[in-house]
Amino acid sequence: MAEGLLRNLAPDAYESLSAGSRPAEAVHPMAIAVMQELEIDISAQQPKSIEIFLTGEQPAPNIVISVCAKASEECPAFTGAEVLSMSLPFDDPADAEGDDEEKLTVFRRVRDEIRETLQQALGL
């Protein structure tokens, strides 16, 4: 969700790529649904491992934003010139419990928290 939100908030200011320490097989359908509510389509996004940046498959990022506590603990340190790291720990909505509506409520809350935090942290 963070990748899609940043692409939407600042399409010309940042190239937004997401990767995880333990990526899922696919983007969660509820993440796709709640982002579509904002008219942001993340259905073509693919979960990727952070390893693509460490092995050189992708250039190392200038900004690393960890969006959950687990990720910030597991995220490797990027060395080099100017890498800004931010840890913005949000609940993992994939861990939400309850019926579908309760889970969607968690996905919406986390989506909105990420959007607000990105706007504040990056001055968007």
DSSP output for 24-43: -SS--HHHHHHHHTTT---T
- Among 72, 76, 75, 64, smallest CA distance to 90 is for 72
Is 20 within 8 Å of 1 (Cβ atoms)?
A: no
Assigned token pair, 113:
């928290």
**Rounded-to-10 torsion of CA 82, 70, 104, 19:** 40
pLDDT of residue 59: 76
**Domains contained in the chain, CATH given:** 2-122 (3.40.50.2300)
Is 114 within 8 Å of 5 (Cβ atoms)?
A: yes
Could you read off the pLDDT tens digit of each residue along the chain, which spans 124 residues?
988 999 899 888 888 878 877 888 899 999 999 999 999 999 999 888 888 877 878 777 777 777 766 655 655 555 554 666 677 788 889 999 999 999 999 999 999 999 999 899 888 8
20 Cβ partners below 8 Å, 6+ apart?
47, 48, 49, 50, 71
pLDDT of residue 72: 52
Is 40 within 8 Å of 5 (Cβ atoms)?
A: yes
